[in-house]
Amino acid sequence: MKVILFGASGMVGQGVLRECLVNPEVEKVLSVGRNPSGRQSPKLDEIVRKDLLDYSGAEAELTGFDACFFCLGVTSVGMSEERYRQITHDIALAAARELVRRNPTMTFVFVSGMGADSSGAGPVMWARVKGETENDLIAVGFPAVYIFRPGAIVPMHGIRSKTWLYRVFYGVLGPILPLLMRWFPKYVTSTERVGKAMIRVVKRGGAQRILENGDINELGN
């Protein structure tokens, strides 16, 4: 399996990248993002681009892949809807439209969030934007699109969030998060399980297009 990974420098992306690199079924990983992943491996290539809305000149590098794991995302705290939409929706759609032209049989996996609003009409800004993004990605034309809606995510294997608010959260609750994952599998998962679930859904397919936290944990065990 050859994989393109967006957002490998973020917490979720770091976890997904790790699982790709340790999994023998993943032959190659191409990391695409604004910043380097910070990892080195014979299986890993990287494209660092400041403009993730335009892939001119990178067409050949983006060809020949089986799956895209889109983990790029930001918190909506303190952000205008216009800016949040550009990062969450516009960048994902720009990538998807380019990739479906280059890799028409590709499976596309998008990390959304628990509570995303598929109606696109709800009062919660981040949920509405995530839901619209989900709908638009499904309509792009890939033969398979899977939407991951994790709840709380426990960072494993030394991975840390770049967002200070999340670092505080994990610092306070860190010791009990593994227990919460065991007690509340419908609401808590881990970076490891997200990564394993992504690989498995590409290899085996999924029972449904939208995978909630419990589905992710079941696939990622």
H/E run at residue 202: helix 191-204
Q: Three-class SS of residue 68?
A: strand
Each domain of the chain, given as residue ranges in start order, spans 2-220
State mean pLDDT over 198-208: 94
- What pLDDT is stored for residue 121 in this prediction? 82
- What pLDDT is stored for residue 215 in this prediction? 96
Q: Give, in order, the Cα–Cα distances in Å from 77 to each of 131, 135, 140, 221.
A: 17, 23, 28, 32
Task: Tell me the C-alpha distance between 72 and 184, whole Å.
Answer: 26
Q: Is the pLDDT of residue 162 over 80?
A: no
Kindly report which listed range (57-66, 97-106, 162-171, 208-217) carries the lowest average pLDDT score.
162-171
Mean pLDDT for all residues in the chain: 91
Output b/e per residue, 91-126; b: 16+ Cβ within 10 A.
bbbebbebbbebbeebbbbbbbbbebbbebeeeeeb
Query: Would you place residue 185 in the very low, low, confident or very high pLDDT band (cuts 50, 70, 90)?
Result: confident
pTM of the model as a whole: 0.90
- What pLDDT is stored for residue 64 in this prediction? 97
Q: How far, in whole angstroms, is CA 58 from its chain's centroid?
A: 21
* pLDDT tens string 1-26: 999 999 999 999 999 999 999 999 99
% of the chain residues with pLDDT over 90: 76
* The architecture CATH gives domain 2-220: 3-Layer(aba) Sandwich (3.40)
* pLDDT tens string 127-158: 999 999 999 999 999 999 999 999 988 887 66
Query: Would you place residue 178 in the very low, low, confident or very high pLDDT band (cuts 50, 70, 90)?
Result: confident
